[in-house]
Structure 1
Amino acid sequence: MHDLRSTTITTLEVAEMMEVEHWEILRKLDGRIKKDGSHAKGYIEVLNDNHLVAADYFIKSSYTDAKGEKRPCYKITKLGCDFLANKFNGEKGVLFTAKYVKRFYELEHMTEAIEKNYDTKSTSLGEVASYTKEMDKRMDKQGSEPYKVCEAFKMVSEQFGIRLPDDFVKVPEYKQTSLFDGISQRNGGCNEI
């Protein structure tokens, strides 16, 4: 049986598809404080309060921004995108639906191809280069660290029989942390649950 959570996109990508700011998506998911000081529930709290598994739709995660700071985001499943698309009407809803359906179609077909370990001999070097370029762009947009991008590139290269030097991926010995990292860890962190 296919795991509902196996294929996801991030709230960063959803915000780009919807042409809204990322914080607006987070506010819809997490809720907000109203002007009168009361709390307006977000989608996740409403789902959890009604004994639905919010993680079937939205999975808490984080990314590193351009300044090297860790920021909250969510991984959103196809169910989560279906959910969000139903909340938007008119042209904005239609465009978001078209974009995320296409994106999940691409992800599912890419996954199927890898799972079937298709004949890599019939794949041109240009197709591999195009794929890795798109992967690099997505990982960069999500704030992936350079060594993680290299790991993914090496994995794809090896899948297609392209051998890279053993020292191609250089994992840093240490990572610079910020004041917010310590606060985040004390509060349970923002990494995937």
Structure 2
Amino acid sequence: MHNLTVIHQNGQLLVDSREVAEMIGVRHADLLEKIDGYVKHLLNGKFRSVDYFIESEYQDTTGRTLKRFLLTKKGCDMVANKLTGEKGVWFTATYVAKFEEMESALREPYPNLSPEVKAIFFLDQRTQEIESRVERLEVSKTIDYGQQLELQNLARRKVLESLGGKEGQAYRNSSLRGKVFSAIWRDFKDYFNIESYKNTLVRDLDKAKEYINSWRPQGKLLREIEEANRQMSFS
């Protein structure tokens, strides 16, 4: 009667609606119907229903996928507030105790260890957290000013090369030169899916250099460059 399992999932403490239904002595289908009503009222009142009830699924013994809810402590409070009599008291006493037990276990995962050993575990946990943060920073870190200049210089050389050198008519055409600069950065941003070359990730820097070095003008732009340089050769 008093069995209730609190699970720790995605940083939340939750209980299964099937266990709740069993504790308060109602059919699971009837409890689901009531919770659907609570969710509707919460949403109408502009409350976040997932702070109370999280819709989920489970498989029964025949392999069917069926609906369930995972209830937060707030969700249990809401269900308990609608109950009267002995079963309501039992449910309230049980879920409050179970949530407190789990919260205590999360705060103090090794209650029987000596203070010295606990300190080692805590230090190891903190080290892992710091390493995880550093790893996330390294993954998301963008290039610094010096690296941005490096890409700019590579792009200038590539534009100069693509236009046929400073002596070429294409390079002397400032409008055409601007088109090539626009094209190389537009293609670069599309390839790396970023809004600016300044947002290039440090881990992508070598790939970015390789991309610029291998870039070539295409299509209409290439024909404009060839036509401009061809006109110089005829003059």
**Greater share of helix:** 2
Give the TM-score normalised by structure 2: 0.41
Q: Is the radius of gyration larger for structure 1 or structure 2?
A: 2
TM-score w.r.t. the length of structure 1 is 0.49
Structure with larger RCO (C-alpha < 8 A, sep 6+): 1
